[in-house]
Amino acid sequence: MNLYHCMIELKSDAKALAFSAAVEAWMGLLQDRGLIRGWRLLRRKLGLAADGQADFLLELEVDSMTALDAAFTAIGRVDDAAAHRYDQMHGMIARAEVGLYRPFPDPERRERIALI
């Protein structure tokens, strides 16, 4: 499994609950179509975070890099209803920074370590 992280700051006029609903609509569609395994939206609590940390953290779970690539490819060919969901969510975002993470040590490394 791989985790695709998006640290998100909203535009000044965006409402957090409207953003949450838009994320749920878009991510739910991706999950229903089998493009992602799961997702979760987190918000900084009590404003506590180091400098450079965004207000929201969106995590997407995908099984592999191949699955992530397939999701990006499929997203590029969405229908009008899906594009509308994406536009609603994306239109509220002022800044986003992304990263790709995996559990560590991963199963392949555990296997190698066990053989030593």
47-60 residue pLDDT tens = 787 778 899 999 99
The predicted pLDDT at position 113 comes to 58
| Residues 96/6, Cβ–Cβ less than 8 Å | yes
What pLDDT does residue 86 have? 92
- The domain spans of the chain are 2-115
Contacts of 39 by beta carbon, 8 Å cutoff, 6+ apart = 27, 30, 31, 58, 59, 60, 61
Residue 7 has pLDDT above 70, yes or no: yes
Average pLDDT over residues 86-114: 84
* Domain 2-115: assigned CATH number: 3.30.70.100
Task: Say whether pLDDT at 106 is over 90.
Answer: no
pLDDT in tens, 19-43: 999 999 999 999 999 999 999 999 9
